[in-house]
Structure 1
Amino acid sequence: MNRRIRIILLTVSLMLVVGTLGWLTHVLLIQAEETGRSERRIKVESLAHEAKLEMDRLLTAFITFEQARGYYEYLPFYAYRRPYDQRMDAPAPGEPARSSNLASYLPDYVTAYLQISPSGQVTGPALNKELSERLNGEKNLYQRLNEKVSALISLPASGNLWADIRNEILHEVSEPEPPQDGVPAQVETVSSFVPVEDGGNLYILRQVHTNRGVYLQGALMNMESLNRRLPEQVTKELPQSRLATFDPAAPPAEETGREGTLFFANAPLVFLPGDAAELPVQDHKQMLTWTLTLIWSMVLVGAAGVIWLMLGTFRLEQRRGDFVSAVTHELRTPLTSFSLYTEMLEDGMVPEQKKPEYYANMQRECRRLEHLIDNVLAYSKLQRNAIRRTKDTLTCQELFEPIAEKIERRLREAGISFSFALAQPIRILPVHTDAVAVEQIMDNLTSNAIKYARGENAKVQLTVQADRHNIVIRFRDNGPGISPKHRKLVFKPFRRTKEATNSRKPGVGLGLSLARDIARSLGGDLKLEFGTLGGASFLLTLPKS
């Protein structure tokens, strides 16, 4: 399978993975949003029911208590010595009377206790003047409230068994007889209390049936105080929530369409949650976002790793091809020389005086082939971490003088001058290292200099110095040097600069890479620096003992 097909398959696979993961991310985020909305809706509804239960408890207790209150308590004064059903009229002058208990009792959630006569007059035990004027000024207040109360009440017992049975069956009450002049008002039946709405106000009223008509008695509730009695948890989590009245016969207001709105079944009240968007709930979307971010990061890192491995495979194949090509070329050259020289010697085509030169050439090609094989084997062992170093403690003089002699001999054969500087204090410094490995490093640097530093004035300098922690070796030549854009390539295995390839210099691009790897295996390093001779300058560091 060629490289193009593998790239196409890899791209398609990554697109499928990313597309599938993107679709799953979209679906999961939508589900997380829906889960958050559902939790918020459930919590709002729970708080609404909590508010409703509190109001039901308060209103039920209030109605139960008021149901036991006598009808005459809604008068400022009543004649307590009259029969129970004849106390609707005000006391006569001089007649014993008592003041109503409601004159001094007013819960905070009640604005006023009041009584509305059939003529529409609003009175009360402690009705203030301003409220009295406002209520008495409302047109048809009695008619509206009486109709609403009549539509809600169930008829109570009247004291007449047969009449109660008839009323229960027919669900009707006989019309009161017309009042007669001089006849006192007489109470016939008293209904249960029911909550009704009118003009945005909440009334809790009952009907008192008399021979003079139907009176309405009850209380005008204080909505502001009722809202203050909402549970603390409700007002804390829904600060904009409130209770409001509603008219069952009118179309619902726009505000009642919000999520969490709860209509009371036994009162014309509605719980309005306000803006529930700020209600604290678990943020599933944020949690999922972090999880998906982690998953996406892992997928992208994995994809990057796959791409990196694929590119590494391509590079490895390229390097393998370059290596095979270079090694093949490097092997072919000495083999061709061997074949040519041996044939000429065998056929007697070489004069006696030329044979030493031919033998020298064959030995040089043999050393070149040996050097190539040694480098390849050493690089292979380094990559497999299969080299066992034999380190000895030597002085700098014992280590570097034999190496300098070999370098000088090779450079002299190549026509390159050589200078070696080892200061007297440095000579006795001990170095614990592998002398063979150091020699191989210097041999590769020498081979590099022989390739590129040739010329009439070619020269190489070798200096050995020391700093606080390391022995510092500089190997300089005055060759063409290495351009800045190619400086990063010199230590890449099987990589050669374009100028080196075009110049047809021998080599496979392995010497400098191998030299640096050996230096690092010894605990030091090999770097390229700007040379003082105008060519290449290599800095080798080895740790002191």
Structure 2
Amino acid sequence: MRRGNRLTGLDQAQLRRWLLLFFFALLIPSGVLIQQSYSQLKWEAFHQYRLQAEALSGRINDRLMRLVATEEQRRFGDYAFLVGASGAAVRPPQRSPLSAYPVNDTVPGVIGYFQVDEAGRFSTPLLPVRVEQASDFGIVGDELDQRLTLHSRLQQILSENSLVQSAASGRLPKPAELERQASSVDAASGQPAIAFSEPGKMLREEDRELADSIDRPQAAFDRLNRAPLSTKGQSKQTLSGSRKLGRVEDLKLDRRLESQLVEKQTVQESKARRLKKEETWPSAPAPITAEELLAPAKPPRQDGLRIHTFESELDPFEFSLLDSGHLVLFRKVWREGHRFIQGLLIEQQPFLQASIAERFKETALPAMSELTLAYRGELFSTFSGKDAQSYYSRAEELSGALLYRNRLAAPFSDMELIYSIRQLPAGPGGRLLLWVTAILLLVLCGGFYLLYRLGMRQIELARQQQDFVSAISHELKTPLTSIRMYGEMLREGWASEEKKRSYYDYIHDESERLTRLINNVLQLARMTRNGLELACRPVAVASLLDNMRSKIAAQVERAGFELNLHADQQAATAHVKLDDDSFNQIMINLVDNALKFSAQSPTKRIDISAAVERDRQLVFTVRDYGPGVPRDQMKKIFRLFYRSENELTRETIGTGIGLALVSQLVTAMGGRVDVINQQPGAAFRVIFPVYGADDQCGE
């Protein structure tokens, strides 16, 4: 009993609280489980793409190392226009492989090769030491002009970055000027002599200590890769020629996924200085002419001239990003106590596109990540999947999660590859998990909504059943008490002759009302058990109205109302297929409802009409002249046990099953019922199709 009372006392607010508690009790653990699963999938995807980024960085690094290895195979003499041939026999010098024009593009974006001696004099393998000899080697006309232009461009780029002195007055050098610059030639090495005070004057032995004590012209190359950092982390070497995005520290990248991995810090140690030694024959023992160059080989001289070989020490290549935005790859060479700078200038974007961007595009990384290049902590180039060059203006625009960072090997150790994730896909498993999550959420929400609706309906039904029990008890007890009272008065002879008639009429009316009430309850019970069987047959509308008049006329008259039945000519001759008894019960309930709710109206009349409307629909209308039905209750009044909660309803009797039974019976016979407000009153309309060839009731 306690349990039943507790369930019966559950109201709507308590139901909502219990269902919400149960809903979150399932939702929170499920959400945590799904979130953990999704995080694991994201972590696995992050690890997979990180491995791809690591492999890509390795391929980029290998590619750059192969380029450097190719350049390291260059001999010292290759940076001159002519090189000497080694071997037992002395042959005339040959043209250097770097003297070809256009410049060999083994290195992507290469502009040209250059050499700087200790005096800061600039030379390239594009031109011979004596420019007037260019014609002897077939270099004339446009080709000579193009070589001179490229020579001046290389010198101009280096001078803009304070690596060599600029050409005189910034104009292209003429052949005579180049000849004067190279007029002093070291007979041993074939290279321009080192001028300390005046052009053409050899550096005296006593001046060498002085030269070592001052800032030599080549010192600018020494400072390229020694730019100190200030206390604020800003590099004193600015990237004025590059598109600066900011510092690496300015990147606001999420590092949570990266922190889940065991960080493998790849430390690229700078290679120790490895001196590469080579022995070479002199490049030019004496001024060489074209005829001598093209002449056949001669045997070694027997005039007592000593042929010297020279030992050169070559440092590994170094790499730097110049202020102008150009890249320079250079090495330091020691030859007979003198130092030379040999290297090549490279255009930044072609080099990065061929060496990094194209390989980045070949992977799956561009679809979800961006590759940013940093040089000494400065961000200067970014690549993404849409465009080879993404135009970001500052580091803050680079958002996402940090996927991988890697510093390249020497000589590119100042350059760092930073992979950032814009949108990390969770893979096929993540998509399946998202679908499962959506379906689970839909099922949970839909299921709890249906449970809530069902619970609310059950609570409402329980309340209505309680109201019905109270109402039916009242409806049964009141007339039975009255019948018993009037019966006792008649039995004891307390009623006069003139009152006996009214007592008998009252007993008859109350018994009729009890009969209708019991029939409604029994009919409702049969319909609830799906045991209702209707005997539908074609019936003429005229006979229906006559039969109806005999059943409800006395009820209407005793209530003090006027009954008005009317059928138009088309409806009077029409036939409908229905069950006679069920139809009479429908009309009795509608008339009883009209009498009950219009008892206080000034117009005491009930109108019942039949008419054929469009689409051969036969409409029976029961109209009263009472207060009508509120709009918000027009559909609710046909619900089982429903009684409106206004003051009028509280003053009237009823069980709340009459109109619900009307709706179910009409639907069972293939019709429909509705209500419309009139001025005044309300009209209940029962609509059936005009009889045709239907075989069963309700079809």
Which amino acid is the alignment partner of residue 403 of structure 1?
A: M
The answer on whether the counterparts of 2:479 and 2:514 sit within 8 Å (CA) in structure 1 is yes
- Name the counterpart of 1:107: 104
Q: 1:74 pairs with 75, 79, 85, which one?
A: 79
1:170-181 matches, cutoff 5 A: none
SS in 1 for 2:576: strand
- Name the counterpart of 2:310: 187
Which deviates more, 333-342 or 150-159? Answer: 150-159
Which deviates more, 210-219 or 466-475? Answer: 210-219
1:382-421 matches, cutoff 5 A: 382-421=527-566
1:99-498 matches, cutoff 5 A: 99-104=95-100, 106-108=103-105, 109=107, 110-117=110-117, 121-126=121-126, 128-132=151-155, 134=159, 135-137=163-165, 139-141=218-220, 151-153=272-274, 186-188=309-311, 191=314, 194-198=316-320, 200=322, 201-205=327-331, 207=333, 210-213=335-338, 215=340, 217-230=342-355, 232-235=358-361, 238=366, 241=371, 252-253=377-378, 259-269=403-413, 272=416, 276-278=420-422, 281-282=425-426, 292-350=437-495, 355=500, 357-453=502-598, 458-467=604-613, 468-482=615-629, 487-497=634-644, 498=646
SS in 1 for 2:582: helix
Question: How big is the alpha-carbon RMSD for the aligned residues of Structure 1 and Structure 2?
Answer: 4.3
Q: TM-score, normalised on structure 2?
A: 0.61
Question: 1:252-305 CA deviation, whole Å, 9 max, x = no partner?
Answer: 557899753321234324665567344674589898667545544433333322
The answer on whether the counterparts of 1:422 and 1:463 sit within 8 Å (CA) in structure 2 is yes
The answer on whether the counterparts of 2:640 and 2:657 sit within 8 Å (CA) in structure 1 is yes
- Name the counterpart of 1:529: 676
Deviation at 1:227, TM superposition (A): 1.0
C-alpha distance in 2 between matches for 1:155 and 1:429? 119
C-alpha distance in 1 between matches for 2:580 and 2:491? 42
Task: Note closer, same or farther for the CA distance 1:150–1:491 as it changes in structure 2 (3 Å cut).
Answer: closer
- Name the counterpart of 1:518: 665
The answer on whether the counterparts of 1:395 and 1:427 sit within 8 Å (CA) in structure 2 is yes
The answer on whether the counterparts of 1:32 and 1:288 sit within 8 Å (CA) in structure 2 is yes
Instruction: Give the helix-richer structure, 1 or 2.
Output: 1
Which amino acid is the alignment partner of residue 265 of structure 1?
A: A
C-alpha distance in 2 between matches for 1:21 and 1:450? 54
Structure 1 residue 98 corresponds to structure 2 residue 103: no
Which deviates more, 285-294 or 51-60? Answer: 285-294
Question: 1:430-475 CA deviation, whole Å, 9 max, x = no partner?
Answer: 2111111111111112223443455896322222111232111122
Question: 1:387-417 CA deviation, whole Å, 9 max, x = no partner?
Answer: 1110111221222222123222332344432
The answer on whether the counterparts of 1:76 and 1:124 sit within 8 Å (CA) in structure 2 is yes
Which amino acid is the alignment partner of residue 657 of structure 2?
A: L
1:23-62 matches, cutoff 5 A: 25=31, 32=38, 36=42, 39=45, 43=49, 46-47=52-53, 49-50=55-56, 52-54=58-60, 56-57=62-63, 59-60=65-66
C-alpha distance in 2 between matches for 1:536 and 1:6? 33
Aligned length in residues: 504
The answer on whether the counterparts of 1:392 and 1:432 sit within 8 Å (CA) in structure 2 is yes
Task: Note closer, same or farther for the CA distance 1:115–1:42 as it changes in structure 2 (3 Å cut).
Answer: farther
Task: Note closer, same or farther for the CA distance 1:46–1:328 as it changes in structure 2 (3 Å cut).
Answer: same
Deviation at 1:524, TM superposition (A): 1.4
C-alpha distance in 2 between matches for 1:385 and 1:501? 31
Task: Note closer, same or farther for the CA distance 1:146–1:111 as it changes in structure 2 (3 Å cut).
Answer: same
Which deviates more, 515-524 or 366-375? Answer: 515-524
The answer on whether the counterparts of 1:75 and 1:100 sit within 8 Å (CA) in structure 2 is yes
SS in 2 for 1:136: coil
C-alpha distance in 2 between matches for 1:22 and 1:146? 57
Deviation at 1:113, TM superposition (A): 3.0
Q: 1:508 pairs with 650, 655, 668, which one?
A: 655
Deviation at 1:420, TM superposition (A): 2.0
Which deviates more, 519-528 or 290-299? Answer: 290-299
Task: Note closer, same or farther for the CA distance 1:366–1:194 as it changes in structure 2 (3 Å cut).
Answer: same
SS in 2 for 1:152: coil
